[in-house]
């Protein structure tokens, strides 16, 4: 699976980087900035996972084969608190249930063949989806998805390995405010779309629903509740 992912990234990155003026491309700069933030969080995950009692090999394997930051932190927390592997898996599945509507929204962007779809789905993250949907046409949308997905996958896994070696030196990323980098980046991506009235209403409605649900639901679940704003908008039409 890892070799397949590597081949997918290399093949697609070659076509992406053939685009003229790549080094001056704002998309590439944004992706690299996001990947840098992901690397810092990945360092922390590697250290926290080992400190929780998960072996270095399993910690690195989880980053390679699961590749879901929130679910990985959840698994480390559950194991560290003495929970079972089943609890960690169920919690991760619930946390990543938001990927179902993501997949429906960018199905054609992820890939067309079975292998491309499998690998493209594996590198799906909130950020890659946001970068993709912010582009107007299929070509640039695909390019954004490949760049974001590949950069985040590579930076996250390298950083996890370094974090494992570093042990528990970094601790919780909240101590450094790094956990705020991803929400800030997502909000910046959302801003251009808010110029349209419908998009602004859906965004505000979703934010309100998530805010109301946050005190009562586990982390990650309010995002699913926020999708209810789309249903409300559709009902009005």
Model confidence pLDDT, tens digit, residues 88-142: 777 777 777 777 777 777 777 787 778 878 888 888 888 888 888 877 788 888 8
Are the C-beta atoms of 95 and 70 separated by less than 8 Å? Answer: yes
pTM of the model: 0.64
Give the pLDDT score at 236.
62
Q: Which pLDDT value is given to residue 115?
A: 82
pLDDT of residue 49: 83
Residue 154 pLDDT:
93
C-alpha 143/C-alpha 171 separation (Å) is 35
**In whole angstroms, what is the distance from residue 75 CA to residue 234 CA?**
36
Task: Give phi and psi for 203, each to the nearest 5.
Answer: -65, -45
What pLDDT score was predicted for residue 156?
93
**Between residues 220 and 196, the one the model is more confident about:** 196
Reported confidence tier of residue 86, pLDDT bands at 50, 70, 90: confident
Give the percent of the chain with pLDDT over 70: 68
Helices (H), the chain: 2-17, 26-51, 56-65, 69-80, 85-95, 99-105, 107-110, 114-122, 126-133, 138-166, 181-190, 197-213, 221-226, 228-236
Q: Note the pLDDT tens digit of each residue in 33-63.
A: 888 888 888 888 888 888 777 888 989 999 9
Say if residue 20's pLDDT is above 50. Answer: no
Mean pLDDT of the chain: 74
CB 111 within 8 A of CB 170: no
Cα–Cα distance for residue pair 70/45, rounded to 1 Å: 10
Rounded to whole angstroms, the Cα distance separating 208 from 120 reads 31
């Amino acid at each position: 699976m890892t070799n397949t992912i590597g081949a997918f990234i290399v093949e697609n990155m070659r076509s992406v980087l053939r685009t003229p003026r790549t080094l001056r491309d704002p998309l590439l700069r944004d992706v690299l900035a996001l990947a840098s933030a992901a690397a810092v969080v990945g360092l922390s995950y590697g250290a926290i996972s080992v400190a929780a009692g998960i072996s270095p090999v399993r910690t690195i394997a989880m980053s390679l084969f699961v590749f879901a930051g929130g679910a990985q932190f959840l698994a480390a927390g559950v194991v560290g608190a003495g929970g079972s592997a089943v609890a960690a898996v169920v919690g991760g599945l619930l946390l990543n249930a938001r990927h179902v509507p993501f997949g429906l929204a960018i199905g054609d962007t992820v890939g067309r063949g079975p292998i491309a779809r499998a690998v493209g789905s594996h590198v799906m993250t909130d950020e890659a989806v946001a970068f993709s949907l912010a582009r107007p046409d299929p070509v640039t949308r695909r390019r954004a998805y490949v760049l974001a997905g590949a950069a985040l996958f590579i930076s996250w896994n390298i950083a996890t390995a370094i974090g494992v070696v570093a042990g528990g030196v970094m601790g919780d990323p909240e101590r450094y405010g790094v956990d705020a980098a991803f929400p800030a980046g997502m909000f910046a991506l959302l801003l251009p779309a808010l110029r349209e009235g419908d998009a602004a209403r859906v965004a505000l409605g979703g934010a309100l629903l998530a805010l109301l649900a946050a005190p009562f639901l586990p982390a990650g679940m309010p995002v699913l509740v926020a999708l209810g704003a789309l249903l409300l908008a559709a009902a009005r039409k």
